[in-house]
Amino acid sequence: MFTLEEKLGYAFKNKALLENALQHSSYANEHRGGGMRSNERLEFLGDAVLGVVTADYLFRKHPDLPEGDLTRLRAALVCEDSLHEVAQSLELGRHLKLGRGEEQGGGRRRPSILADATESVFAAVYLDGGMEAASELIHRVLLDKGREEAVEERRRDFKTELQELVQRKSGSTLGYRLVGSTGPDHAKVFEAAVLLNGEVFSTGTGHSKKEAEQAAAGAALEKLQQA
């Protein structure tokens, strides 16, 4: 079993910084007498460090992109979904310190908590090893993993693309159906189906009905393009 430091590829000189990065406010509130501090201050700093590193990366990689496009790309790269994916790859959830209520409510898997903890870990590395160490980590777990391409893929409107493709096939009809949902209210996963001429053609999942329909439309496009 890999330790978190092995997953991060970084060994802390001051282990207390990493411990603080993993302490959710619910845990700190339950241990006020012990002088526990939540990771919220680290999250604030980590957000800034992540923004600088990502801006520098995009500025150098895309010398001809205007400011507006760079801003949109940066926002998409550092959004909750991207940071949640990083947290999952690092198995950050199992290392978090949560209060009893948050633990029982599924906080260890909650995307917002995991995304915030990811920023806190970035800040902890920055404070322990400087900007170079933080930048290396952010590049390794986020920027150098093809996530920019994944972001661009998510920005595509698969439903519109599918509609245009189906319209070119005379006599074909297109529709969507919600198949069902799973999970607790704070972390529901929806499943939607694409109906082509009244028959289920593909399915997809997402954290909202809209995301599920987009995923189903993307799967349908892939099938049609391979046919």
Same domain, 12 and 102: yes
Residue 182, Ramachandran bin (φ over 0: left; ψ between -120 and 50: alpha; else beta) = beta
Domain end among 155, 189, 216: 155
Same domain, 115 and 199: no
What residues form the annotated binding site?
Answer: 43, 116, 119
What residues form the annotated binding site for Mg(2+)?
Answer: 43, 116, 119
Same domain, 55 and 118: yes
In this model, does residue 155 exceed pLDDT 60?
no
b/e sequence 21-60, b meaning 16+ C-beta within 10 Å: bbbbbbbbebeeeeebebbeebbebbbebbeebbbebbee
The yes-or-no answer on residue 157 being catalytic is no
Q: Are 15 and 87 in contact (CB under 8 A)?
A: no
Tell me what pLDDT residue 141 has.
Answer: 93
Neighbours of 87 (CB within 10 A): 24
Domain count, the chain: 2
Q: What is the mean pLDDT of the chain?
A: 88
Rounded to an integer, what distance in angstroms lies between the CA atom of residue 170 and that of residue 172?
6
Same domain, 100 and 184: no
In the set 85, 102, 119, 128, the catalytic residue is 119
Question: What integer is the mean pLDDT of 75-93?
Answer: 89
The yes-or-no answer on residue 153 being catalytic is no
Write the CATH number for 216: 3.30.160.20
Rounded to an integer, what distance in angstroms lies between the CA atom of residue 115 and that of residue 118?
5
Same domain, 97 and 170: no
In the set 30, 47, 103, 136, the catalytic residue is 47
pTM (two decimals):
0.68
Same domain, 51 and 69: yes
Share of the chain above pLDDT 90, in %: 50
What range defines the domain where residue 135 resides?
Answer: 4-155
Among 149, 159, 152, which residue's Cα sits nearest to residue 195? 159
Tell me what pLDDT residue 68 has.
Answer: 83
Domain end among 155, 178, 197: 155
Query: Is residue 73 packed enough to be buried (19+ CB in 10 Å), middle (13-18) or exposed (0-12)?
Result: buried
Same domain, 182 and 100: no
